[in-house]
Structure 1
């Protein structure tokens, strides 16, 4: 199926979405690379080819040396905070507004889906909007970490609202598992499907479509595979859906 010409695959994707009763998207770092955010596992350019995540992005690393932890992680967090949605994010928001997509489960912490206009987003690895105190649980905006990483209220260590290595999953992950119930089609976009437990979510869907530049462990089970850029595939999908069903207002 993946050997079909590109336009034929787009037509089949349109047909699959139109006949599916419940469609969800699962996005990874690859959807945000066109916004200037590096991904994690791509050969040579991925962040985890330069750093050991257990050494730089774990709760253990934060507690051991908060100053070094924040100095390093803010280098790429700032890239996330400066980024703007690309056409792939905008296309998913439009598919949701058109009623063809129930919502988006994302591994990303950059908040670009919400900026693009998506209303139903489950951030399974947390987000960069806030931090909180490990002792008194008081919440602060992320900017607090630029000034000091100890709580103004009690002096405890502050941490970001992201899932670090060694953490339990966010509440959004467990909600996403429930949302996946009855999913007929899952669009996997920009994810290598290597990180558990998120990599197991496709088991909860009747069918999957892969939109990713590199192979994944789920390629053999996929109904369709796209290696083209996510922005091109998803925007062509929106245009094709509009042509087949009429414009969205």
Structure 2
């Protein structure tokens, strides 16, 4: 199928995990994809595997100048950007007593500030393209409570999505948030969160952790013209966790 035929996409955190899954799905549906990640070796290797419709750019998503460079590369390589997937993020399982100020600010910068910077940087390019779709990857913890820092920033992504959707609607730019539950990615294998995630997974109504591709299918829908009347909304893919 060619549900993204002719579309140009920038995906952050795309060198591995959910981001890699999104990139593979988009290219299979006809898009040209900029793999944007701080992991240079992995990102470059993935771009080479995916072929001529993929390119890699090193991106520190917390840096405004890096964002400007990434959008410029996308335009120079493929053309104006139609799709942005703000996927980059981190988790940290620490109590409010154990978390330092530096820990907290790191999470805010990567999970929250990067989303603002990405939306701001891509808007002029999407205006050149006569519109576009921004998909912000939040979390089920943008709907219900969870770890300090992570939950805070994922709620913020949900709020920014709604504010940006209202601000950009008259420019033909849609903005939606995706709220995954427990997904099989490198993030949940981190030493400081693996045990917590495994215990939590026992309470999923669907009785399993999701595959990244199951999130990618939803992201694809929001990136495509099929979701042309959806903006400022949250889309949940959590195996029923938030329905309890």
Asked if Structure 1 and Structure 2 have the same fold, meaning a TM-score greater than 0.5 normalized by the shorter chain, the answer is: no
Q: Which structure dedicates a bigger proportion of its chain to helix? A: 2
Larger radius of gyration: 1
